[in-house]
Structure 1
Amino acid sequence: MTTVRFPRRGARPAIALLLVGLLLSGCSPRQMVIGGIADELAAQGQSAEPDLDLAREASAFYLKLSESILRQQPGHRPLAEAVAGGFTQYAYAFVAGEAEQIEARDARAAQRLRQRAAKLYQRAQRHALQALEQEHPGFVRALASPQPQDWPPLKPEQVGLAYWAAAAWGGWISLSKDDPEVVADLPLAVRLAQLAWAVDPAWGDGALTGLLATFEASRPGGSQAQALRWFDQAIAQSAGKSVGPLLGKAESYALPAGDQALFEKLLHQALTIKDQADSPLTLQNEVMRRRARWLLDKTADLF
Structure 2
Amino acid sequence: MTTRLMMATLVAAVSLSACGGRQSTLVDEGPAPQKAGDATTQLAAGDAAFALRSDKAKVNEAIKIWEEAQAVDGTDAQIPLKLTYAYFFLANAHIIWEDDEDALKVAYDKGVTAGERAIKLLSPDFAKMIKDGKTWEEAIPHVKREGLPGLYWYATNLGRWATLDGITTLLSNKDRIFAIMQHCEKLDETFFHGAPHRYFGVAYTKIPFPSGDLPKSRGEFEKAVAIAPTYADSKVLFAETYAAKAGDRALFKKLVEEVLALPDDVIPELVPETKNAKRKAAILLADIDDKF
Aligned alpha-carbon RMSD (Å): 2.7
* Post-superposition CA distance 1:133-177 (Å, at most 9, x none): 34423354589727x554342222222112211211221122222
> Could you tell me how far 1:130 is from its partner in structure 2?
2.5
The 8 Å contact of residues 50 and 62 in structure 2, kept in 1 or not, is answered as no
Amino acid paired to 1:153: H
Q: Which runs of 5+ in 2 are unaligned?
A: 1-34
| Correspondent of 1:207 among 195, 219, 228 | 195
Matched, 1:60 2:60: yes
Amino acid paired to 1:58: K
Amino acid paired to 1:195: H
> Could you tell me how far 1:94 is from its partner in structure 2?
1.1
Matched, 1:171 2:176: no
Amino acid paired to 1:61: E
Distance 2:177 2:49 in 1: 24
The 8 Å contact of residues 38 and 70 in structure 1, kept in 2 or not, is answered as no
The 8 Å contact of residues 41 and 79 in structure 1, kept in 2 or not, is answered as no
After TM superposition, list the pairs within 5 Å mapping 1:3-42 onto structure 2: 31-33=36-38, 35-37=39-41, 39-40=43-44
- Report what 2:110 is aligned to: 123
Matched, 1:74 2:77: no
- Report what 1:233 is aligned to: 223
The 8 Å contact of residues 143 and 188 in structure 1, kept in 2 or not, is answered as no
Amino acid paired to 2:92: Y
Amino acid paired to 1:225: P
SS in 1 for 2:158: helix
Greater radius of gyration (CA): 1
Q: TM-score scaled by structure 1?
A: 0.74
> Could you tell me how far 1:61 is from its partner in structure 2?
1.4
The 8 Å contact of residues 85 and 111 in structure 2, kept in 1 or not, is answered as yes
The 8 Å contact of residues 176 and 182 in structure 1, kept in 2 or not, is answered as yes
Higher relative contact order (CA 8 A, sep 6+): 2
The 8 Å contact of residues 156 and 199 in structure 1, kept in 2 or not, is answered as yes
Aligned CA distance change for structure 1 residues 302 and 115 (closer, same or farther; 3 Å): farther
Distance 2:257 2:287 in 1: 14
The 8 Å contact of residues 46 and 82 in structure 1, kept in 2 or not, is answered as no
Distance 1:167 1:184 in 2: 16
Matched, 1:133 2:120: yes
SS in 1 for 2:106: helix
* Equivalenced residues, count: 253
Q: Which runs of 5+ in 1 are unaligned?
A: 1-29, 100-112
